[in-house]
Amino acid sequence: MEEIKNPKHSLSNAVELLDLERLSDPRGNLTFVEGGRHIPFDVKRVYYLYDVPAGESRGGHAHHELQQLIIAVAGSFDVVLDNGYERKTVTCNRPFQGIFMKSLVWRELENFSSGAVCLVLASMRYEESDYIRNYDDFISVARKG
Ligand code: TYD
């Protein structure tokens, strides 16, 4: 039987590719992000991944509440996104684009290029209790909602 797709289950409800502003002049490029204006949350935390060895992956979890914006400020990497119904891989390689993700999105970051830097703006401080680190647990939480 053919699967009937429910629009409520679309990954695009939870993930958005954002084009950020880019000011270019002969001195170089400048991109900025304001909480509450370019992203729908106030930034409570910033972290970044760098010096990721070739072949290593990061992530492999989801969050109950946390929302994030992910930007490849240098180099490139792939982000596998999964809302429990749909899975998609997005390549991040432009410092003026970001992946905005709401809560309950499983993400895996892989294929880091040499020199890649993954900048993350987060809506909450670090809280281990907000993590869902087991994929089966994630599926049951995501499909309950
Ligand atoms: P984790 O989020 O699991 O890494 P990734 O998703 O990048 O693969 O975090 C790895 C470790 O770092 C874990 O012990 C928690 C710690 N950590 C903090 O203390 N603060 C933070 O803001 C982050 C993101 C992680």
Among 64, 101, 126, residue to substitute to test ligand 1 (most atoms within 8 Å of Cβ): 126
For residues 7-33, b (16+ Cβ closer than 10 Å) or e, as one string? Answer: eeeebeebbeeeebeeeeeeeeeebeb
Asked whether residue 113 is domain-assigned, the answer is yes
What is the C-alpha to C-alpha distance for residues 95 and 117, in angstroms, rounded to an integer? 10
Q: What is the pTM of this model?
A: 0.95
Give the Å distances, CA to CA, from 128 to 22, 23, 68, 101, 113: 34, 37, 15, 18, 28
What is the C-alpha to C-alpha distance for residues 130 and 62, in angstroms, rounded to an integer? 8
Asked whether residue 93 is domain-assigned, the answer is yes
Among 44, 46, 47, 68, residue to substitute to test ligand 1 (most atoms within 8 Å of Cβ): 47
**Residue 23, Cα to own-chain centre: how many angstroms?**
23
pLDDT given for residue 5 in this prediction: 79
pLDDT given for residue 3 in this prediction: 63
Asked whether residue 2 is domain-assigned, the answer is no
Counting the structural domains of the chain, the total is 1
Ligand 1 mean position to 58 CA, how many Å?
A: 9
Asked whether residue 66 is domain-assigned, the answer is yes
Report the CATH number that the domain containing residue 123 is assigned in CATH.
Answer: 2.60.120.10
Render each residue's pLDDT in the chain as its tens digit; 145 residues: 556 679 999 999 999 999 999 999 999 999 999 999 999 999 999 999 999 999 999 999 999 999 999 999 999 999 999 999 999 999 999 999 999 999 999 999 999 999 999 999 999 999 999 999 999 999 999 999 6
Asked whether residue 120 is domain-assigned, the answer is yes
Does residue 48's CB lie within 6 angstroms of at least one atom of ligand 1?
Answer: no
Asked whether residue 1 is domain-assigned, the answer is no
- Residue at token pair 């647990």: 137
Q: Domain of residue 117: give its range.
A: 7-144
Asked whether residue 127 is domain-assigned, the answer is yes
Asked whether residue 37 is domain-assigned, the answer is yes
